[in-house]
């Protein structure tokens, strides 16, 4: 349904036009700086225990760039010999089509609400509900990647059931810093955190599916994490 969901805040904030962070600049240092300015990043706290994230996909600027550049190639084609023109006009035309499709598909605004007062999350695109469910389905994940030389790189991602994965940090070899940032974000937003391994004592599970015998406040590490910004300051200065 479009518009209002019972018990969920659906009014849009007056934030300016915001693209999701571009992958090239998604480093642990830039994330730490954002967390110093807004401890609930990438969300904004709308009211106690209610966090809201509104954004547009970064494919919007990529599609716009492709849509602008491709017609220039088309205009250059008539100046070339007939054979070359027939061989080269296809790619610019394809670029125009792909760029237009990326622009149109990225224009609708995304909105994700974490409502701990009701114990649910709500994801919508341009006001139309995509999914809604319990809080244990939203989490921060530390993903593991490796290259041909078997070097390990870590990626910090905000994930969830039927949610578009949002990359918080693109690639980093610093496991300890990535883990700290992921656990910090999950704690401030009161959501689950999962390590890069499927089975790990480093998971922090705050919300469990209904019917489980575990306590929602259980932490596998068995201790309370300190609420300081000293390590965030260290990351931004290192």
Nearest CA among 120, 104, 100 for reference residue 112: 120
| pLDDT higher than threshold 60 for residue 20 | no
pLDDT above 90: percentage of residues in the chain: 43
Alpha carbons 47 and 207: distance in angstroms, whole number: 20
Query: How, if at all, do strands 44-47 and 192-194 pair?
Result: unpaired
Alpha carbons 41 and 32: distance in angstroms, whole number: 10
Task: Please write the tens of the pLDDT for every residue from 223-233.
Answer: 444 444 445 55
Nearest CA among 160, 177, 189 for reference residue 40: 189
| pLDDT higher than threshold 70 for residue 180 | yes
DSSP one-letter string for 53-68? EEEB-THHHHHHHHHH
The mean pLDDT value for 195-218 works out to 78
| pLDDT higher than threshold 60 for residue 169 | yes
Residue 1 pLDDT: 43
What 3-state DSSP class applies to 48?
Answer: coil
Please state the separation of Cα 23 from the chain's center in Å. Answer: 10
Supply 55's token pair: 């954004």
Across the chain, mean pLDDT equals: 77
5 — phi, psi (to 5°)? -110, 135
Residue 209 pLDDT: 87
Rg (CA), the chain: 21
| pLDDT higher than threshold 80 for residue 166 | yes
| Residue extents of the structural domains in the chain | 25-39+134-237, 60-106
CA atoms within 13 A on the CB side of 55: 21
Supply 67's token pair: 């849509």
pLDDT above 70: percentage of residues in the chain: 64
Residue 56 pLDDT: 85
Supply 93's token pair: 């035309």
Task: Please write the tens of the pLDDT for every residue from 71-127.
Answer: 665 555 555 555 455 556 666 777 777 777 777 777 788 999 999 999 999 999 989
Alpha carbons 207 and 188: distance in angstroms, whole number: 14
């Amino acid at each position: 349904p479009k518009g209002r969901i019972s018990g969920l805040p659906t009014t849009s904030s007056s934030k300016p036009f915001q693209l999701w962070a571009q992958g090239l600049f998604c480093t642990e240092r830039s994330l730490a700086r954002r967390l110093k300015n807004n401890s609930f990043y990438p969300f904004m706290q709308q009211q106690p225990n209610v966090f809201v994230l509104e954004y547009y996909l970064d494919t919007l600027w990529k599609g716009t760039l492709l849509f602008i550049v491709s017609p220039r190639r088309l205009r250059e084609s008539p100046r070339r010999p007939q054979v070359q023109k027939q061989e080269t006009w296809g790619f610019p035309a394809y670029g125009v089509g792909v760029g237009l499709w990326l622009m149109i598909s990225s224009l609708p605004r995304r909105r994700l609400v974490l409502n701990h007062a009701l114990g649910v999350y709500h994801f919508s695109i341009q006001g139309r509900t995509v999914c809604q469910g319990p809080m244990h389905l939203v989490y921060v994940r530390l993903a593991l990647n490796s290259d041909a030389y078997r070097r390990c790189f870590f990626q910090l991602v905000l994930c969830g059931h039927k949610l578009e994965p949002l990359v918080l940090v693109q690639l980093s070899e610093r496991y300890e810093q990535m883990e700290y940032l992921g656990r910090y974000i999950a704690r401030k937003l009161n959501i689950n955190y999962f390590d890069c391994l499927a089975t790990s004592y480093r998971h922090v599970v705050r919300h469990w599916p209904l019917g489980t015998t575990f306590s929602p406040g259980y932490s596998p590490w068995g201790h309370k994490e300190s609420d300081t910004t000293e390590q965030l300051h260290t990351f931004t200065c290192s």
